[in-house]
Structure 1
Amino acid sequence: MHKLIAPLLTAATLLATQAAQAETVPVNGMDIYYEITGEGDPLVVLPGAYMTIPDMGEIIPLLAKTHKVIAIEFQGHGRTNDIDRPITYPNLADDVAGLMDALAIEKADIFGYSLGAGAGIQLAIRHPEKVDQLVSASGGYDMAGMQPAFAAFVPQMTPEMMLGTPMETAYKTLAVDKDGFPALVEKLIALEKEPMAWGDDVKAIKSPVLIIAGDADVVTLEHEVAFFRLLGGGIMGDMGAPLPASRLAILPATSHTAVINQPALLLSVIEPFLQDQTPKSFMGM
């Protein structure tokens, strides 16, 4: 969801891809660009809309200190070419599954932000055998969970709104097709208008999920709590029973685009989740 806003490309974010193994691999009729950094258990990173790998910033090199990070660029984004196909969450999920097959990655942890979070959720739904643990940052499972202000804005979206913006400038720095930005915008706007109601499918997800959102994100807090409850979260601890495998983290004073710009804070909640570390209470449980 919420794909019309993305962090600007900066010199700091460009550092994220230094010393990476960079390749393309044919998947579903396109050449998907990916970068591999670090060593350890595989962790697939899925950026947000309009974003490339550098736009994900410092969180990638931080995660690469303890994981083998495989970061990708989606259809029509950055160094991955566009094809004659709509951009949908199921399509993106199938692309990730295809990439994993091509790289002989049987199963991995998944970290998706915004558009990437939706793709990650769909990957857990459509290809559950490929998902070990899922981190969903600034994502949701139902269009009804969008902030009212954003829901009211969606019908007004036009490609012209994005032309001449910093996102178009950033797009042209890496894009395979330097003139392909308008077509990408049209596809992402169409995605905003697609129905989304995955509640029953989310409830059936078996992989542990870490839900991350800003307290001023484009998805409402109520929606993220409902998401958490669908996964078995929201119970009282300190009652002798183990906590649910899924977790919820709300970042303070944080808008949608500010989520990814707090790498240290993100790491502080992502790494313990991926390592299955649970804070100890004074009750000793």
Structure 2
Amino acid sequence: MLSSLTIAAAILLTTIGAQAQAEAKGDYADVNGMRVYYEVSGEGAPIVVLHGAYMNIPAMGGIIPALAKTHTVYALEFQGHGRTEDIDRPVTYPNLASDVAAFMDDVGLEKADIFGYSMGAAAALRLAIDHPERVDHLITASVSYDMSGSQPAFLAMIPTMVPEMFVGTPMEDAWKALAPNPDGFRPFVERMIALEHEPMAWGEDVKKLKMPVLIIGGDSDMMTLEHLVSMYRLLGGGEPGDMGKPLSASRLAILPATSHTAVIDQVDLLMGFMEPFLNGETPKGMFDQ
């Protein structure tokens, strides 16, 4: 799901992308006919970080250096984003998931934890569906598994989206600052708008997932709260604790007073959810031994 409900927010995210991540080593991987830019930072168990639509690695803000304190972080830039070239191929979630799998092959990652935000979360979810053997723990922030779970206002906006909402704005200038082909913004935007019209109804696939999944969303996000809860229940969550049965391996975290574009910058709160999940730690109830 894209972060373009408010263009002003998207412009802000892209502009932040001009900044450099500290202590990260950048390189390119050969992925499905593209040279995909990525950065590696930190030490520890590997985690792949996937950014949102119209974003890039630095636009993910402080979450990457925070994760790098305890993990080896592999952050990549998707087709047409940041320093990765665009190619004449639709941007679809299966294509993005295939790119992540091919990227992992290129850098020698057989399996890793995966964290995705917004569009990156949908790509991460599709990766878990299509290539479950590549995913250890899955963290999705601000994602739908079915377009019917999107907020009605967002669904109503999709048919109105046209390239002119982006072309000729400061967002294009920021995109050109990193793009290998600065003249390719319009076809890139056309591909991104087309992504909004891609069908998404993955409920039966989500239900079959076996790896632990942490679902993160804002209480005023682009998908309804009911949809986030339904995803959690598809994964076996939501049953009562303290009644003799183990808790689900999957988890649900809702950030208060949080819109879609405000999710990714709440680093301390996110890490408070993510690190215990990745370490398999759970709060102890009064009946736990």
Contact between 2:16 and 2:58, CA under 8 Å: does it hold in 1? no
For the residue of structure 2 that corresponds to 1:265, the secondary structure is helix
Instruction: Find the partner of 2:13 among 8, 31, 50.
Output: 8
Report deviation, 1:13: 8.1
Would you say 1:100 and 2:70 are equivalent positions?
no
- Render the CA deviation track for 1:161-207: whole Å, top value 9, x for unaligned: 11233432321221111122211111111010111100111111111
Instruction: Find the partner of 1:253 among 254, 257, 261.
Output: 257
Q: Distance in 1 between matches of 2:179 and 2:210?
A: 36
For the residue of structure 1 that corresponds to 2:103, the secondary structure is helix
Would you say 1:78 and 2:82 are equivalent positions?
yes
Contact between 1:8 and 1:170, CA under 8 Å: does it hold in 2? no
Report deviation, 1:9: 4.5
Q: Distance in 2 between matches of 1:128 and 1:135?
A: 14
Q: Distance in 2 between matches of 1:227 and 1:166?
A: 36
Task: Name 2:169's counterpart in structure 1.
Answer: 165
Q: Sort the Cα spacing of 1:208 and 1:166 in 2 relative to 1 into closer, same or farther, 3 A.
A: farther
Task: Name 2:198's counterpart in structure 1.
Answer: 194
Query: Which stretch of structure 1 is more off in the superposition, 188-197 or 156-165?
Result: 156-165
Task: Name 1:21's counterpart in structure 2.
Answer: 25
For the residue of structure 1 that corresponds to 2:76, the secondary structure is strand
Q: Distance in 1 between matches of 2:153 and 2:16?
A: 32
Amino acid at match of 1:66: T
Q: Distance in 2 between matches of 1:264 and 1:167?
A: 28
For residues 17-96 of structure 1, the aligned pairs below 5 Å read: 17-96=21-100
Report deviation, 1:44: 0.1
Query: What are structure 2's unaligned runs of at least 5 residues?
Result: none
Q: Distance in 2 between matches of 1:126 and 1:210?
A: 18
Report deviation, 1:150: 0.4
Amino acid at match of 2:135: V
Amino acid at match of 2:78: F
Query: Which stretch of structure 1 is more off in the superposition, 43-52 or 180-189?
Result: 180-189
Contact between 2:14 and 2:54, CA under 8 Å: does it hold in 1? no
Report deviation, 1:283: 2.8
How many residues are aligned here?
Answer: 284
Contact between 2:61 and 2:265, CA under 8 Å: does it hold in 1? yes
Report deviation, 1:236: 0.4
Instruction: Find the partner of 1:275 among 269, 275, 279.
Output: 279
Instruction: Find the partner of 2:223 among 216, 219, 222.
Output: 219
Q: Distance in 2 between matches of 1:93 and 1:78?
A: 18
Report deviation, 1:140: 1.2
Contact between 1:42 and 1:108, CA under 8 Å: does it hold in 2? yes
Work out the percentage of aligned pairs sharing the same amino acid.
62
Amino acid at match of 1:107: K
Please tell me the root mean square deviation across aligned C-alpha atoms, in Å.
1.4
